[in-house]
Amino acid sequence: MKKLAIISTLVLGLATTACDSYLDINRNPNSPAEENMTTDIVFPAAEMNLCSSYGDFYRIAGGYHAQYYAHAFGTSNYVDYSQFNMSATRSSSSYTQLNQRGLKNLKTVCELAEQNEEWGSFLAAKTLRAVIYQSLVDAYGEIPYTEALDASNATPKYDDGQTIYAGVIAELDEALSKAGTNDKVATNFLLPGKNSGAWIQLANAVKLRLLMRESGVVDVNAQLDALVAENNFPTSDIAWEGCWSNESGALSPFFAEEFATNWGSTQINVVANVAIIGTLLQKDGDGNVVYQDGRLPAMFETNASGEYTGSISGTNFSTSDNYKSTYWCRPVASYDMPVYLVTVAETEFFLAEYYAKKGNAAQAKAHYDAAVQANFATYGVGGADAALAKFPYDQANYKKCIGVAKWIALAGINTFEAWCEARRLDYPAFGTVTGSQMYDDNSDSSYKPQLYQPGTFYTPIKVNDKLGANKLLERWNYPESSSSRNNQSPEFPGYATPVFWGK
């Protein structure tokens, strides 16, 4: 009898109240008989495995690594993240969630779908499988792939990231070749009620992300040319939304982790970073506002005094009497906040870069402008024209303008992807001001956010000593849940060693 790799009761509960009753946590779906398994049963579990990690752990870690988030007074939960560090232990549970649960569930969906010629469900499962492998490669660089998910092999070899990217792109191509535009797709929360046509668009967007991310080190020009010429990408944002409710076990993941008090906790960890606040709210030497981005209120709340304030990476201000948690801004969050997988803006930024590399400045600018406008639409605010005037497209410096604009755009949307893109494009670049210059961790009077240079990164007050100054964290240490049990785990190459597409 085949066993179903199923997510835990806690993750099942994420979507129970607002979604279909078959995910009722009072049912026991564990290890159903093979004849009772269907893609409709397994697929929702698989996508919630991805959603819960991608929308929580990856968002929090990415937010600190991309200097959207800093730490509040008196806690130390994520200070290591803000110091550009990630231990082998810290990411282990998320790795287990994605690998041992998500990928195993998706493998079961693929097997059932192929057996029953459910090509819409096959494509959907392959698409999410590609997203998981992309996320794991982008975080760790090397992970098991070609020998992974084999119950008879407890020590699968680690494949290099380029091999994995090529593999999942080939898997997407196979699935796209089999799926028609009107094939039925298994019950899901991401694109509920949509047929395979919508999943074809999503698969294309994921493929575009993969190809563009590796395009600096791998010749994928022919594949990109064909994909862009097809021009069949999502016309609206793709996110898990509309399936959350305001009760324990059914909250959107980031809100549940950092804002909900259902478990009795009122601790504040995540606050705004001076980098994103200082970029979106710029002042002159006299303290007068010269630019305020319309997206700022959609990304961050004001503090208790109605002001926008940003903390500094690398410390938690634990010595401060004045800069307590109520002084800092917090991310805008709600129990029903979407978990974005792909947005129109992200796709448009990639297309802008594609045309920029081709030397087609007019098309690059058109897609760049469309990306910024789409991002404002996602946030539901006005002010796109002002942002485009402040951060205009520049063909001569396309990496810089796209890198900074994309970093701004993803601040409240997808912080993990922002960290990846900053490592790939090398923008935002590091400015000349350091965290220690803005706050010396000893005196309240040393807090000088006005020194921050808009649109740049800065070295945290205390930084991972394996990195040093003016360097982003390039990768996470291999997760203990994998490396400690696998004698084929390679030696960690170091926090400053880029994953394959960043070399």
Nearest to 145 by CA among 502, 500, 398, 412: 500
Q: Could you tell me if residue 355 is left (phi over 0), alpha (psi between -120 and 50 degrees) or otherwise beta?
A: alpha
- As given in the structure block, the two tokens for residue 16 are 């129970």
CB 82 within 8 A of CB 434: no
Q: If you ran DSSP here, which 8-state letter would residue 457 be given?
A: B
Tens-place pLDDT, residues 38-82: 999 999 999 999 999 999 999 999 999 999 999 887 778 999 999
Distance CA 503, CA 498 (A): 6
The string of DSSP letters for 236-275 reads S-EEE-S---SSTTSS-HHHHHHT--TTS-----EEEBHH
pTM of the full structure: 0.94
Question: What is the rounded average pLDDT of the residues 307-313?
Answer: 96
Count Cα neighbours of 333 within 13 Å in the Cβ-side half-sphere: 24
Count Cα neighbours of 287 within 13 Å in the Cβ-side half-sphere: 4
Q: Which H or E run contains 425?
A: helix 415-425
Distance CA 335, CA 251 (A): 5
- Bond prior to 428 in cis (omega within 30° of 0): yes
- As given in the structure block, the two tokens for residue 114 are 């192929």
CB 424 within 8 A of CB 213: yes
Tens-place pLDDT, residues 369-410: 999 999 999 999 999 999 999 999 999 999 999 999 999 999
Tens-place pLDDT, residues 114-162: 999 999 999 999 999 999 999 999 999 999 999 999 989 999 999 999 9
**φ/ψ of residue 217, rounded to 5:** -125, -10
What does the angle CA 106 – CA 109 – CA 111 come to, to the nearest 5 degrees? Answer: 110
Nearest to 136 by CA among 178, 108, 106: 106
Tens-place pLDDT, residues 424-447: 999 999 999 999 999 987 788 889
- Please give the pLDDT value at position 263: 66
Hey, which bits of 304-390 come out as E strands? 339-342
- As given in the structure block, the two tokens for residue 329 are 């801004």
